[in-house]
Amino acid sequence: MKKFIYTILIMLALVIAGDWGLGCWLRYAYRHTSHDEIGRLNMICDSVTADVIVLGSSRALHHYVPSIVTDSTGLSCYNCGFENEGIVFHYALLRMLQQRYSPRLVIYELTYDYDIQFLYERPVNLKHIHTMADLRCRDSILASVDPWERVSMLSHIYPYHSLAFTIMASQKPSIYDSPQVDNGYIPQFKQMRHSSDWQFQPQKLDDRIDELKLGYLKKLIAENAGHLLVAVSPRYLSPEDDIYGIVEDLCREHGVPFVCMMSDPIISRDITLWEDDGHLNHTGAQAFTRKMMPHIKQILTQNNKK
């Protein structure tokens, strides 16, 4: 029995020491990464002070051209879109940015499956929220997703789990460091093609709602009314859909403009503007951003009057 207890104690000591040592190394390496997605997140956390910021998933990242916003309004703009990230991450990111400064306008690109729909196989992605060590609201956000997160976060390694190779690989320049990157916006230059027997298959959305995501969307809208614009950019050949009714009502309730261009008659039907059926290429992104400018200007003018 004694031997068993000693074994457990030695193992515990080794695990705690290893967790501390490796965790500290991972934290240092993560915070000193300046390339790829991690480097970009570090940069946004530490130094973005743009007047207009864009938040949202890859559709935000590839659809909003900051230079067009700056040219039209004279205000600085930064695209903070992140691949595969939804409302919980962006809510946390905005809370963190707002601890440093208050952007004049926040554009939130809504993606139904990331921001509202319940996805069994793909629950809320916490990967990057874990690592925002300086974010005061982090623990409460994590605990709202899973109460046990407070316990898990006692580990020094856990916040960086499954990121070790990504950190190592992010020491070299990547697509995010390309000269074509415009204030966070990543242009795409391919053009979608399909064979002659190709048949359009609309994105499968269903009305199962993830209350957690919707809760954060409500908080985002309620807390940022007055300097928030919620938008849905086009999808290729997307039909009219009333699935966004819930967001429309929510925005109306708080006086937040909601612009849904999902089935825009020109952009959504022109195949030359598309990289794939969910993402615009650079030409498409420019056309879409120009179409968005009247809405952006309108909310900025209203804010100036106030």
Partner 1 sequence: MSYNSLTFIISLPFIVLGYYTMPARWRNAALLAASLALYMLWWPAGILVMTWVILTSHLGIGYITRQREHSLGAMWLTIALTALPMLFFKYLQPLNEAITSFLHIEWWLNRHHWYVPVGLSFYTLQAIALVVDVYKERIRPASSLVNHAAFMSFFPITASGPIVRGDELLAQLEKRERRFDPELAWQGLRWLIWGMFMKVAVAESFALFVHAVEMRIDTQNGFTLLLSTLCYTIQLYADFAGYSLMALGVSALLGIKLRHNFWHPLFAVGIKDFWRRWHISLSQWLRDYIYIPLGGNRCSAWRSRLNAMATFVFSGLWHGAGIAYLLWGAMHGLWLVIERLLRFDRWPQHWLLRLPLCLTTFVLVSVLFMLFSHDVPTTLHIIDRFFGQWDGFRLTVTQSVSNLSREWSMVALFSVMIAKEARDEWAPTLLSQRTWQIAFYSGVVLLTLMFGVFDRSGQFIYMHF
Site for partner 1 in 158-217 (CB under 8 A): 158, 160-166, 168-170, 174-175
Residue with smaller CB distance to partner 1, 164 or 243: 164
Task: Report CA 186 to chain centroid distance, whole Å.
Answer: 14
Residue 109 β-bridge partners: 56, 231
118 lines the binding site for partner 1 (CB under 8 A)? no
| Token code pair at residue 117 | 């729909």
- Candidates 30, 36, 79, 97; binder of partner 1 (CB under 8 A) is 36
- Candidates 72, 76, 98, 125; binder of partner 1 (CB under 8 A) is 125
CB proximity list for 34: less than 8 A, separation 6 or greater: 42, 43
Stretch that binds partner 1, among 5-13, 87-95, 229-237, 292-300 (CB under 8 A): 5-13
- Candidates 27, 31, 127, 218; binder of partner 1 (CB under 8 A) is 127
Residue with smaller CB distance to partner 1, 159 or 234: 159
- The nearest distance, CB 35 to partner 1, in angstroms, is 8
11 lines the binding site for partner 1 (CB under 8 A)? yes
Residue with smaller CB distance to partner 1, 113 or 223: 113
19 lines the binding site for partner 1 (CB under 8 A)? yes
85 lines the binding site for partner 1 (CB under 8 A)? no
Convert the chain into a string of H (helix), E (strand) and C (coil). CHHHHHHHHHHHHHHHHHHHHHHHHHHHHHHCCCCHHHHHHHHHHHHCCCCEEEEECHHHHCCCCHHHHHHHHCCCEEECCCCCCCHHHHHHHHHHHHHHCCCCEEEEECCHHHHCECCCCCCCCCHHHHCCCCCCCHHHHHHHHCCCHHHHCCCCCHHHCCCHHHHHHCCCCCHHHCCCCECCECCCCCCCCCCCCCCCCCCCCCCCECHHHHHHHHHHHHHHCCCEEEEECCCCCCCCCHHHHHHHHHHHHHCCCEEECCCCCCHHHCHHHEEECCEECHHHHHHHHHHHHHHHHHHHHHHHHC
157 lines the binding site for partner 1 (CB under 8 A)? yes
87 lines the binding site for partner 1 (CB under 8 A)? no
Site for partner 1 in 130-149 (CB under 8 A): 148
- The nearest distance, CB 94 to partner 1, in angstroms, is 21
- The nearest distance, CB 161 to partner 1, in angstroms, is 6
Residue 289 in contact with residue 63, Cβ under 8 Å?
yes
Stretch that binds partner 1, among 61-69, 72-80, 155-163, 220-228 (CB under 8 A): 155-163
- Candidates 28, 32, 49, 83; binder of partner 1 (CB under 8 A) is 83
Total residues binding partner 1 (CB under 8 A): 42
- The nearest distance, CB 220 to partner 1, in angstroms, is 21
Q: Please state, in angstroms and as integers, the Cα–Cα distance from residue 11 to each residue in 16, 63, 81, following that order.
A: 9, 51, 43
- The nearest distance, CB 6 to partner 1, in angstroms, is 10
Q: Which residues bind partner 1 (CB under 8 A)?
A: 1, 3-4, 7-8, 10-11, 14-15, 18-19, 22, 26, 36-37, 83, 120-127, 148, 151-152, 155, 157-158, 160-166, 168-170, 174-175
